[in-house]
Amino acid sequence: MIEQRGGPDRFTVDARTGLVLPGSDGLPEMTLQCCLSESTEPTNVCLIDVGSRLHTEELMRQVYSGVGRSDLSSWGGALRLHPHGAEFAARRRFPTALLSALRAIIGQPRLCLLYQQAAASESQSPESGPQEAASVSGALRRFRVTCSRAIGVRILQVRRTADRALIVVQPTIVVTRTAWVPEPGPATNIPANPYVYKIFRTQ
């Protein structure tokens, strides 16, 4: 939906202050529906394990600061998403403590992964890192997702209802020095990513 530009346009971001304000800016928005309980109702977003083991404290750190080098040790230091996708452990339930971290980064660009399919499982599954397995106490309703693309989003609003959180996002561009950007073209069969740009330092 967010790539098809089918959402409403109710918010704008002040380029000077970074504040989110009511108004139109030509960028469509999408509402992510996050489950705060063990409900089985469908949602359109989940948490994936990129070195966090889906622990709340580690997830909050990644929201604030991004994924670090130590998080990527199981992937050889870089998260390379190829067209065929990479598989991750995931869960639908969002810890309520994570909402404060998401509110703290309103207006800031972040990378998110699109997941294309999920193999549902009510049992605890191995962690997503290759050749790594661990268990987390509690019934977290883990399953696995396949991710093949990263997109840039900007959080505009975080609202909580009785058992859900509604997160309004819009597409944006993320410019970073640390992104792994494959060379697009016929030789690699990889399309260019319109959301992620890597900058290089020159002398």
- What pLDDT, in 10s, does the model give residues 91-142? 989 999 999 999 999 999 998 888 876 555 444 443 444 333 333 333 346 7
Question: 170 versus 183: which is more confidently predicted?
Answer: 170
CA 199/CA 112 separation, integer angstroms: 19
Count of domains forming the chain: 1
Which pLDDT value is given to residue 149? 82
Domain-embedded: residue 159? yes
- E strand or H helix that includes residue 59: helix 56-65
Is 2 a residue whose pLDDT tops 70?
no
For the chain, the 3-state helix, strand and coil shares in percent, each to the nearest 5, are: 10, 35, 55
Quickly state the pLDDT bin for 188 (edges 50, 70, 90): low
Domain-embedded: residue 157? yes
User: How much is the average pLDDT of 23-38?
Assistant: 89
Helix (DSSP H) and strand (DSSP E) numbers for the chain = 2, 10
Is 185 a residue whose pLDDT tops 60?
no
CA 112/CA 153 separation, integer angstroms: 7
Domain-embedded: residue 191? no
- Single pTM value for the model: 0.76
Range with the largest mean pLDDT of 157-161, 174-178, 190-194: 157-161
Which pLDDT value is given to residue 125? 40
Domain-embedded: residue 197? no
Residue numbers of the domain that contains 46:
11-176
Domain-embedded: residue 4? no
Q: Which of 152-161, 164-173, 183-192 has the lowest mean pLDDT?
A: 183-192
Domain-embedded: residue 107? yes
Is 173 a residue whose pLDDT tops 80?
yes
